[in-house]
Structure 1
Amino acid sequence: MHNFKKLKIWNESMKIVSESYKITRTFPKFETYGLMSQMNRSAVSIPSNISEGSSKSSDKHFNIYLENSLGSAFEWETQLNVAFNENYITEEKFLELEQQIKQIQKMISGFQSRLVL
């Protein structure tokens, strides 16, 4: 078992959650139940799967949750692209967040490669 609060991948993904909520507050009102909701759910899913997986009895089971977390990270990256394409965020913010989510994806993959399966 891992203490998820001590995992760098969890802490870094929590920053994405905060960023997601911050930027989606600026989206048009009609996106409340669309992109805004989807982005925030994807962002929350990243650290949620890490923490849930950390409670599992084996690294093999933990890895399944890390796969889900990684999938949510890629989903969020796609939604970030949609937000940029729709001009909901600036290019500067897009590039900053794109770099952050790509770093988290690499960190999750790296963590997975160190698990004993």
Structure 2
Amino acid sequence: MEKEKVAARNYRELIVWQEAIKIAKQVYELTGKFPKQEIYALADQLRRAAVSVPSNIAEGQARKSPGDFKRFLHIALGSLAEVDTQLVLAQEFGYLRKEDIDPMDEQIQNLRKKLYALINTLPSTTNR
């Protein structure tokens, strides 16, 4: 990650936030194909997890503390893992096809790598 991207004045400038927004949008589009009985179950959980990723990136960056930012990036990683798992479940349940989630899988893996790279550029905190 470039230093100027870490020190972005606005979370919207962060590539990781922009990519997380794209993933959340795609999740909303894909879950629109789910059966009606899943709207308040797996679809809702998947949407919440997807929205949580860019939301935590934004909240962490807005805190202006490297320690807080790092903590929220870890939370975003957890939410991203939820999205990944729930997409696999949606395929297993027959709500999505492999062709639906393969492009998402690549995007999720790329975002995960970028989040870890960004975390590694932030200074370590010793005492909290």
Give me the TM-score of the superposition, normalised by structure 2: 0.88
Q: Which of 88, 100, 112 matches 2:107? A: 100
The Cα RMSD (Å) is 1.0
Gapped regions of structure 1 (runs ≥ 5) = none
Q: Percent identity?
A: 36
Q: Which of 61, 71, 75 matches 2:78? A: 71
- After TM superposition, the structure 1 = structure 2 runs for residues 82-97 of structure 1, keeping only pairs within 5 Å, are 82-97=89-104
Gapped regions of structure 2 (runs ≥ 5) = 1-6
Q: Which of 57, 68, 88 matches 1:50? A: 57
Higher CA-based Rg: 2
How far apart are residue 57 of structure 1 and its match?
Answer: 2.9
Residue by residue over 1:65-98, the C-alpha shift from the partner in whole angstroms, topping out at 9 and shown as x without a partner, is 0010000000100000001111111111111111
Match in the other structure for 2:117 = 110
Give me the TM-score of the superposition, normalised by structure 1: 0.96
- Tell me the amino acid that sits aligned with residue 114 of structure 2: M
Q: Are 2:47 and 1:40 equivalent residues in the alignment? A: yes
Aligned counterparts of 2:24 and 2:82: Cα–Cα separation in 1: 13
Q: Which of 12, 23, 33 matches 1:5? A: 12
